[in-house]
Amino acid sequence: MALMTADSPCSCDCFVSLPPASAIPAVIFAKNSDRPRDEVQEVVFVPAGTHAPGSRLQCTYIEVDQVPKTHAVVLSRPSWLWGAEMGANEHGVCIGNEAVWTKEPVQDGEALLGMDLLRLALERGSTAQEAMLLITGLLQHYGQGGSCREDPAPFCYHNTFLLADRTEAWVLETAGRLWAAQRIRAGARNLSNQLSIGADISAEHPELRSHARAQGWWGGQGSFDFAQVFSLSQQPVRMEAAKARFRAGRELLQQRQGDITAETMMDILRDKDSGICMDSGGFRTTASMVSVLPQDPSQPCVHFLTATPDPSRSVFKPFIFGVGVAQAPQVLSPTFGAEDPVRILPRFQTRVDRRHTLYREHQVALGRMEAEKVWGQQLHQRQRNLEREGLAVLQGLLAAGEGTPPPQQLGSLFQDFVERESQAYA
């Protein structure tokens, strides 16, 4: 079992707001993905597909049975793996995952990564609840395991998930193949690399309590508090830091109860004082996402993705599943096929350059921003102006389509904003 070290990439923060916490009749989802600081995250669009009976699907490390039909998805993912840190599907389901350590030991050997489970659930689930049940079923059948970073030294963890759709959200927290889930129908909720479900359990693994009792973690009488029963009694330093981020995130949500918008979530993801916008030692916030899921099914869901590190110096760009939607090549990393270090055993003995075009341009621009303060301020203003244009598209769609691009142009919206951001860096 791999141990967590001081430089372990174990920080992420997920948020969700439902009416009446939301300022609009919509569910709002947000996540910062905190990973090794030199890891590249790409934004990938995968169209809906049909698959032959008996097909097998290669995930990051293992194969699983394929299903007859899969949904279209947009994914923000570390470019070396198959799964994703966060994403959405054409039915308005959003999922983010986080690392967590529990009393249950991490499985030896390779299985499904939590990020693989996330993508599989998005490709197969049409509601948040259905996606949650898909994850638990896959967890039972295949287990979770394998190194979660591109490094010869294995680094493994269990996973928690925040799942949302137009009507509700679910928190799913796992310990090996065991799990507990909590349904969220109103208000705001956040996750930060720790078990957070107490006694308010909406669904659970059928052997969850009997296993806890057999291990001597629970006496079998009285209230069953999942987080208290399964959390490590001696928390590593990084887990203690996660507690502080969790409290800060909860307070930021509470301060804006009833007034939470997409902009609110972007501001929270950019909060450096709390550590939610991470830049510490060997890891940082490598990508961010905010999604607005209107309760009115006639209104499209709008997903804002950065595809670049540090949301305080990145642009949230709007993506909408629509006519003509396609992959934006500027945010797609190069591929290396059979020569990829993740495919060659033993894995990760060499490194390859996975930077996509926008990532390269963004990094050059950040360097110049630090060296040339006036130019940097001007660029930062151009970034915010471009982002405000994307938010204006959202506002227009929520106001019955006033002043928004025609439907046939919504599918190319993300591509257009990527190109304009690239021009700003040039």
Domain positions in the chain: 13-425
User: Cα separation of 416 and 239, whole Å?
Assistant: 40
- Whether 331 and 356 have beta carbons less than 8 Å apart is answered as yes
What's the pLDDT band for 5 if we cut at 50, 70, 90?
very low
Q: Which residue out of 10, 12, 94, 148 is catalytically annotated?
A: 12
**pLDDT tens readout for residues 44-88:** 999 999 999 999 999 999 999 999 999 999 999 999 999 999 999
Residue 12 a catalytic site member: yes
Label residues 282-296 b or e (16+ Cβ within 10 Å = b): ebbbbbbbbbbbbee
Q: What is the pLDDT of residue 234?
A: 80
Is the per-residue pLDDT at 17 higher than 80?
yes
What's the pLDDT band for 238 if we cut at 50, 70, 90?
low
> What topology is assigned to 13-425 in CATH?
Penicillin V Acylase; Chain A (3.60.60)
Mean pLDDT of the chain: 94
> At 227, which amino acid appears?
A
What's the pLDDT band for 6 if we cut at 50, 70, 90?
very low
Nearest to 397 by CA among 264, 327, 293, 307: 293
- DSSP, res 166: S
Sign of CA dihedral 77, 83, 88, 89: positive
- Whether 265 and 303 have beta carbons less than 8 Å apart is answered as no
Q: pTM for the whole thing? A: 0.96
User: Cα separation of 398 and 426, whole Å?
Assistant: 33
Is the per-residue pLDDT at 402 higher than 90?
no
**pLDDT tens readout for residues 145-175:** 999 999 999 889 999 999 999 999 999 999 9
